[in-house]
Amino acid sequence: MKLLIAGGGTGGHVFPALAVAQEWLSRGQEREVVIVGTERGLEAKLVPQAGLPLETVRVAGLMGIGGTRFLRNAAMTLGAIGSARAQSRRKQSPVAPGTNTSFGTIMQVNAGLLNVGYAESGPAGGPAVVLLHGWPYDIHSYVDVAPILASAGYRVIVPYLRGYGTTSFLSNETFRNGQQSAVALDIIALMDALRIEKATIVSELPWAALSR
């Protein structure tokens, strides 16, 4: 049996988490536990000292702040949710999150208004999944997720969206628009270019829209 405990920052969170983990492990040999916290909290020191595994996520506070700092922290928090989900499936997957740092070769294809840079993994005949990053991130938001899906038999496409990475406009005259509707048309064009008739679209991260 497996138990994942999320909590950290202060002793009021860490010590109860350690107590629950130790009690859980004491009740049987066929038990595993992982504690999820941050690299900045007390858990970064206390959990390893207790001989327990620690997985870390990046989080930031949202209360009492505004403007761009709020957007940045919200983006970080939503990204941490995706990371935590991947970590929760770690024992079920042959691919361990945190072991991947890059996608390898980035491919290019003309699609609609863009020349799109994208990473691809998994079998070409598998069901297609398109993973969309958002501001302020890029395709590496999914560097751990893509191999998990690929190992499960999915064809995984992770494109740089307009304004990111190796994706560029084919014409300097094209109106620059970062709104969601423009991104949606880009993805349809990309699917057409890759001859993908049907795909699951995953977009977990926030967007920032700009037109000029």
List, in sequence order, the alpha helices (H) in the chain.
Answer: 11-26, 43-49, 67-88, 145-151, 180-193
Q: Give per-residue pLDDT as tens, 69-121.
A: 666 666 666 665 666 556 555 555 455 556 677 888 999 999 999 999 999 99
The predicted pLDDT at position 152 comes to: 80
User: Angle 176-181-185 (CA atoms, 0-180°, nearest 5)?
Assistant: 85
Share of the chain above pLDDT 90, in %: 29
pLDDT of residue 6: 75
pLDDT reported for residue 130: 93
If DSSP codes are grouped into helix, strand and coil, which group holds residue 83?
helix
How far apart are alpha carbons 124 and 67 in whole angstroms? 43
Per-residue pLDDT reduced to its tens digit, 147-183: 888 888 889 999 999 989 999 999 999 988 888 888 9
pTM above 0.85, yes or no: no
What rounded mean pLDDT belongs to the chain?
Answer: 80
pLDDT at 144 over 60: yes
pLDDT at residue 169, rounded to an integer:
96
Q: Which amino acid is at 157?
A: I
Closest CA to 190 of 158, 145, 153, 166: 158
Contact 93, 120 (CB under 8 A): no
Report the pLDDT value the prediction gives residue 168, as an integer from 0 to 100. 96
Instruction: Inform me whether the pLDDT recorded for 210 exceeds 70.
Output: no
Give the C-alpha distances (Å, rounded to integers) separating 122 from 63, 161, 190. Answer: 41, 21, 17
